[in-house]
Amino acid sequence: MDMNVLGEPVGHNMVVAWNQFIRSGKIAAGIVSPLVAKSWEKCANRNMNPTEGRGQIELGRNELKELLDKNERTIRIANPFMKNLYKMFSNTGFIIVLADIKGYILESFGDKERLKNAQYLNFVLGANWSEASVGTNAIGLALATGKPAQVSGWEHFSQPHHCWTCSAAPIFNKQGEMVAVLDISGPVHEKNSHTLGMVAAASEAISMQLKMQQKQNEMILVNKHLESIFNAMSDGVILIDKCGIIKDVNTITKQMLNRNDQNMIGCSIDTIFKEISPVTKEMLHHKKSYSGIKLSVPGSKGINHCLASGEIVADDQGGVSGGVVILRPIQQGKSSANCYSAHNADFTFNDIIGNSSSMREVMGVAVLAAESSSNILLQGESGTGKELFAQAIHNQSARRKGPFIAVNCGAIPRELIGSELFGYEEGAFTGAKRGGRPGKFELAAGGTLFLDEIGDMPLEQQVSLLRVLQEKKINRIGSDKIIATDVRIICATNKNLLKEVRMGSFRQDLYYRLNVISVTIPPLRERGEDIILLLTSFLQNLSKGRKCEFDLDPEVLHCLKKYSWPGNVRELHNVAERIIHLVKGRTVSLVHLPADVYHCCEELTELPTQRSSFKEQRRRENEKTEREEIITLLHECNGNISHIAKRMGVARTTVYRKMQLYAIQY
């Protein structure tokens, strides 16, 4: 006896129910399952011919090839499962079919005789067997519901299918999307209650295999990306196992060491990098990372200097499965060093502006000093450009490819200067960074260390600095390990260090150690002919590429040259920034200068007429500004005088008086 999808008998009653629906469109309740009834109704609404039932072959040869290529992975994975199913149903007249999500048949297995019979219904590759194409069938219901479905005999909408029984189940990918349907179709008299379960189990197995394949492909892609990143890194990278055996190295490591894979992979890291052997063992045994350890490794072009750091690689239980060692070349460590000091050596002697005789003389001394390897002491008032000279000297020197590290000795708390200059080991003091931290001497290796405001360094640290300059070696705080230093020292101060030596606040021996070559930068007031040159350059730079040409009133020129400029070049730069923001047109007048600057002009006895004209100009500017403010407030407050008075902080009568004075009507 035939059974419907609910497991109920399908016999004469089902035949009567189908004929009744075809004639009248009425569903026999209790006989036709809700799922089949809904499908019949959809077929009727589409005006489908119940005597047809042939699959629609809508694809040409090329289109079929494209469809098969598109679904190649699904077909390949499903193929062995379909073959196994076919073995179970061989010689029973059943066909195993795989269809895509639109109902197009992609693959089929079956007895020759049954496959030949299926051709009469176009149940072949490339034919469409969706519900919309051939009416109610198991493939169509599985696609419509996303669940396993079985349709037997007269449950099919099309009469030519009544001799068939079909069981189908959907196949899903890793994202939970339906990608295909697996179907078993055969003679209705061979129907078995276990067929649906078997096809459902097979489709589930195919789904699992498909998900595993997707996951594997994703892992392969991720590994390829990681491998590309691994070999494209500008730092050397070494992968080691938990015993310290090298498992892999990237391209830059091989270039740095002038070795190939065979000479490193499988070797212990101890045999290649003896300097970091102890800390690497400690990292692997006690999970202690490290950083900033200086290494000197032989390469094809001589010794390569780099900073080494190490991190563990943990397994899923939190244990150590290996480690990663990073080698950062000192030349490329400049950006790393600058993240500590926030300084770059961006300026050269071409960036220093000045044609005065005093500046030409100083520039000549600085250029000669740059070519030497001696320590340099830059002296000058605050704002004269001492760091500008320090950077220019570095970029002119033989160390220009090395890092430039700047330290403001006056801005660091006295208790932290030692750790900033010399670094510290992990646990050296409360709050010490895990793995320790390199000091500025280490970070400046191969380059220049600029000690600004050296006159503010505490006496106790002056002793340590003197020892380092003499011995060219340092010890990190909390460590007994001696690290050789290779830095060029440039110091700067706005103090008279000889006077500080006499007062006992600066060590005499350190002074003579630092003051090998002295460069004294003149204050701006002594280089008056450079003022306008500097101001013009500042205005051009601050205008950010826009064509901004300014005309300076003779009064302004006179005032700028007469002003004493206690803040030197830095103060002049601030004046230029003020002009950029205040001047609306092209003419720069006294009113656009800071009060400190134009007051010096008011006090000059030789300018009585200019002083009175300046005051008159100031009055006119103030009146113009006040008039514009009232007009703006009238619009913003919709003419409400009370609100305007409140915004201006004056009485209402004052507002009326000002409006009358400035002839404002509203």
Please give the average per-residue pLDDT across 345-359, as a whole number.
Answer: 88
At 520, is the pLDDT very low, low, confident or very high (cuts 50, 70, 90)?
very high
Candidate from 338-342, 464-468, 552-556 with smallest mean pLDDT: 338-342
Please write down the long-range contacts of 255-262, taking CB distance under 8 Å and 24 or more positions apart.
255/299, 256/297, 256/299, 256/304, 256/306, 256/327, 256/329, 257/297, 257/298, 257/299, 257/304, 258/298, 258/299, 258/300
Cα within 13 Å of Cα(264), Cβ side: 22
Predicted local confidence at residue 69, as pLDDT? 93
Please write down the long-range contacts of 455-460, taking CB distance under 8 Å and 24 or more positions apart.
455/410, 455/493, 455/494, 455/495, 455/497, 455/500, 455/506, 456/409, 456/410, 456/495, 457/409, 457/417, 458/414, 458/417, 459/505, 459/506, 459/507
Q: By the 8 A CB rule, do 97 and 85 touch?
A: no
Element (H, E) at 377: strand 376-379
Predicted local confidence at residue 330, as pLDDT? 66
At 510, is the pLDDT very low, low, confident or very high (cuts 50, 70, 90)?
very high
At 257, is the pLDDT very low, low, confident or very high (cuts 50, 70, 90)?
confident
**3-class SS letters over 380-402:** CCCCCCHHHHHHHHHHHCCCCCC
Rounded alpha-carbon distances, angstroms, from residue 362 to 89, 350, 357, 379, 570: 100, 14, 9, 11, 19
Q: By the 8 A CB rule, do 445 and 489 touch?
A: no
**Is residue 305 pLDDT above 80, yes or no?**
no
* Three-class secondary structure of residue 311 per DSSP: strand
Rounded alpha-carbon distances, angstroms, from residue 587 to 544, 582, 622: 19, 11, 17
Given the structure tokens 């010490």, which residue do they identify? 432
- pLDDT tens, 201-247? 999 999 999 999 888 888 877 777 667 666 767 788 889 999 999 98
Rounded alpha-carbon distances, angstroms, from residue 411 to 27, 345, 416, 420, 607: 91, 20, 10, 12, 43
CATH 3.50.50.60 fits 233-329, yes or no: no
Superfamily name with CATH number, domain 615-666: Homeodomain-like (1.10.10.60)
Q: How far apart are CA 32 and CA 13, in angstroms?
A: 9
Of residues 299 and 16, the one with the higher pLDDT is 16
The structural domains of the chain, with segments of one domain joined by +, span 2-214, 233-329, 337-520, 523-604, 615-666
What's the CATH number for 337-520?
3.40.50.300
Burial annotation 1-13 (CB, 10 A radius, 16+ → b, else e):
ebbbbeeeebeeb
Mean pLDDT of the chain: 84
Predicted local confidence at residue 426, as pLDDT? 73
**Is residue 604 pLDDT above 70, yes or no?**
no
Predicted local confidence at residue 549, as pLDDT? 73
Of residues 521 and 289, the one with the higher pLDDT is 521
Please give the average per-residue pLDDT across 292-307, as a whole number.
Answer: 73
Q: What is the DSSP letter of 344?
A: -
Helices (H) and strands (E) in the chain, counts: 26, 23
CATH 2.60.40.10 fits 2-214, yes or no: no
Please give the average per-residue pLDDT across 561-566, as a whole number.
Answer: 88
- pLDDT tens, 529-552? 898 889 888 888 887 655 567 888
Candidate from 282-296, 335-349, 408-422, 560-574 with smallest mean pLDDT: 335-349
Predicted local confidence at residue 139, as pLDDT? 95
Check if 2-214 and 233-329 are the same fold. yes
Largest CA distance in the chain: 127
At 361, is the pLDDT very low, low, confident or very high (cuts 50, 70, 90)?
very high
User: What CATH architecture does domain 523-604 belong to?
Assistant: Orthogonal Bundle (1.10)
Predicted local confidence at residue 245, as pLDDT? 92
Is the pTM above the cut of 0.85?
no
**Is residue 336 pLDDT above 60, yes or no?**
no
**pLDDT above 90: percentage of residues in the chain:** 33
Q: By the 8 A CB rule, do 455 and 506 touch?
A: yes
Rounded alpha-carbon distances, angstroms, from residue 105 to 55, 71, 329: 10, 11, 60
**3-class SS letters over 318-337:** CCEEEEEEEEEECHHHHHHH
Please give the average per-residue pLDDT across 146-156, as a whole number.
Answer: 93
